[in-house]
Amino acid sequence: MRLIIAEKPSLARAIADALPGSPKREDGAIVVGDTLVTWCLGHLLEQAPPDAYDPAYKQWRLDHLPILPQQWKLIPRPKARGQLAVIRRLLKQASLVVHAGDPDREGQLLVQEVIHHLGWKGPVLRLLVSDLNRPAVSKALEHLEDNTRYQPLYRAAEARSRADWLYGINLSRAWTLVGRQAGHDGVLSVGRVQTPVLGLVVRRDAEIAAFQPRPFYVLWVDLAVEHGQLRAWWQPGEHHSLDDQGRLLTRAPAEDLVARLPGAKGKLARLETHHKRQAAPLPYSLSALQVDAARRYKLSAKAVLDACQSLYERHKLITYPRSDCRYLPETHFALAQKTLKNACGSDDSLAQWLAGADFTRRSKAWNDSKVGAHHALAPTGTQADMSRLSNTEANVFRLIVRNVLAQFYPMLSFREIKAEFDIAGEIFRAQGREILEPGWKPLFTTRDEALPLPPLHEGEPATVIDQAVEDRETRPPEPFTDASLIKAMMNIARYVEDPEVKRTLRDTDGLGTEATRAGIIETLITRGYLVRQQNALRASRTGHALIKALPEAASRPERTALWEQRLTAIAEQETAPAPFLDSLITDLRELLATADASRMHDAFGSAQGVEVPTRAKLQTKGRRNSGARRSSNGKSATRRRRSNKEPS
């Protein structure tokens, strides 16, 4: 009997439907001929808590740290025991096991740790499914591989799980305990990804708070030229008082010049024209989609991920969504016309875009050498019924389809023009853009950001018909939003100061993964470290204090991004897990030595940040909204806050 263990029920159903025969449901499984299909519910197992290694660790004490398990233990997650028992029973009937976790590092860990935990010693094959539609699943079932090929991926995932436990348990206990000594009542959670993300927001908030606006001045002229009018801007020379961006810091020179400009004549001294072509944006990775959806529809990263999961699992309209890739397999090209026709049929905008697509075109998006475990998000070819989708699902689906459709449109072709005028012995610059072929651009926007200039030729005369000096002010950095924070996590090298590390990190996947970035933001909000203010993400007072109290190395992105690089090296068999974990333990000891109650006290004393509504305020608000309502558990807020529950 063959037993297929899927990562989740939706995948199990898709596999059962693709097998020859009539599926029959039984407790916790589906039977199809001589094949049993069962499933996990996400992670069925989790790292055991510290007191599973020593009962003394149930009490949080600084002299226990660092806690370093010698033999690692996994325990069933709450509510997972029933399904674990089902898999245990089915394994007794099996002669062959097929691992059908998602095709990524966590998917490899999730199913394989269950197989190992339940003591299976027989053969294991690997099934890789990235598209839940029957043809795709049937094809995957025809190409099963030996699971041993994916052992390096499993070892990397296991090392990641253990490293996160070591880092989170030890540092969270240490800073919670010194926080209590400093008068803070509650758990202070520290994580190898969440804390550097919080650090990004705290530092941005600090830049905004410390920002001192500086005035600067610009001078413009409206010029009459042979074939129309245009506006040009004065380019003050280095002999004037300028900042590092070339902005004029004193008004007097601009006022002196503007007094001489009315009716002044000059000529076009220099004209540069560049013909440029721009390819369509590639199909989406999850993070790229989250960035665009946040900007266009003000959706949180989690809302986009949830919509994608629904489109993938429930509606079967898109391929596997938690992908970091923006390329498609070359085999998808031949099927694209049919796939996109089914995707676009019930939506007016998509149908209009489909009508303009030329399926003889082939962009660089189809490239097997760029596709790893996943490919870019794409429609599956299932007939789309937009009336069955929520508004968010429909908007996200349109974006995914649009970016694939855009691959069948011509390149955007335009002429970029830069003109320099000599007026009253000073340089005035104008620039514009002329669209020659809109190509894919109308699928993304109905307007062009740059205005065209009238026809120009070098040496032609120009006359000033209007002029003015404008007072302006430098502006502070924008607070992070879901879109900009996700983008920062993707391009984390921009926030690294060390040149060597910066060069190294340009080739990594950034901070967090496609699957975790939305969850990291939501976790920081849930724990009271971040607050959403309309579309902005701001750090709370507790968030500011935690970052101030931690050593800088724990709150900056270098460490965790380099972790990802070392985990990738383990997955690619370039190194073993043991040196990585040994190095981490050395770092932990150094970090723990810096835990200091007085520093924590000072951090809370000086911390600024957004106020997070207290539990008492939320309960008062709840009583106002729904009448007198007592807490169901009867515990006081203080007692709940003092819980020693480990952060997850």
495 is catalytic: no
For residue 499, the model assigns a pLDDT of: 76
What six digits make up the tokens of 472? 């302006």
Q: Are 68 and 585 in contact (CB under 8 A)?
A: yes
For the chain, domain boundaries: 2-44+80-143, 158-209+478-641, 215-279+412-473, 286-408
562 forms beta bridges with: none
Tokens read off for 551:
């050593």
The answer to whether 316 touches 133, Cβ cutoff 8 Å, is yes
CATH architecture of 158-209+478-641: Orthogonal Bundle (1.10)
- What's the confidence (pLDDT) of residue 56? 97
Question: 63: which residues sit within 8 A by CB, 6+ positions away?
Answer: none
CATH architecture of the domain formed by 215-279+412-473: Distorted Sandwich (2.70)
- The amino acid at residue 5 is I
pLDDT given for residue 162 in this prediction: 96
Domain 286-408 carries which CATH code?
1.10.290.10
CA dihedral of residues 22, 26, 29, 32 (deg, nearest 10): -20
Prior bond to 66 cis, omega within 30?
yes
Whole-number pLDDT of residue 350: 95
Topology classification of domain 2-44+80-143: Rossmann fold (3.40.50)
Low-confidence ranges of the chain (pLDDT < 70): 373, 446-450, 503-509, 613-648
- Residue 163 CA: distances (Å) to CA of 82, 226, 581: 28, 69, 7
Q: What is the Cα–Cα distance from 592 to 173, expressed in whole angstroms?
A: 10
Taking phi first (over 0 means left), then psi (-120 to 50 degrees means alpha), and beta for anything else, what does residue 439 get? left
pLDDT at 450: 67
Q: Any idea what the Cα angle at residue 333 is, between residues 100 and 106, rounded to 5°?
A: 25
Q: What pLDDT does residue 256 have?
A: 95
Can you give the pLDDT at residue 641? 36
The token pair that represents 534 in the structure block: 């309309």
What is the enclosing helix (H) or strand (E) of 588?
Answer: helix 577-592
**Residue burial 473-512, b: 16+ Cβ < 10 Å; e: rest:** eeeeeebbbbbbbbbbbbebbebbeeeebeebbeeebbbb
pLDDT at 6: 95
Tell me which of 284, 320, 327, 409 is the catalytic residue: 320
| pLDDT tens sequence across 364-388 | 999 988 887 689 999 998 999 999 9
Q: What is the pLDDT of residue 339?
A: 94
Q: Residue 90 and residue 115: Cα distance in Å, rounded?
A: 11
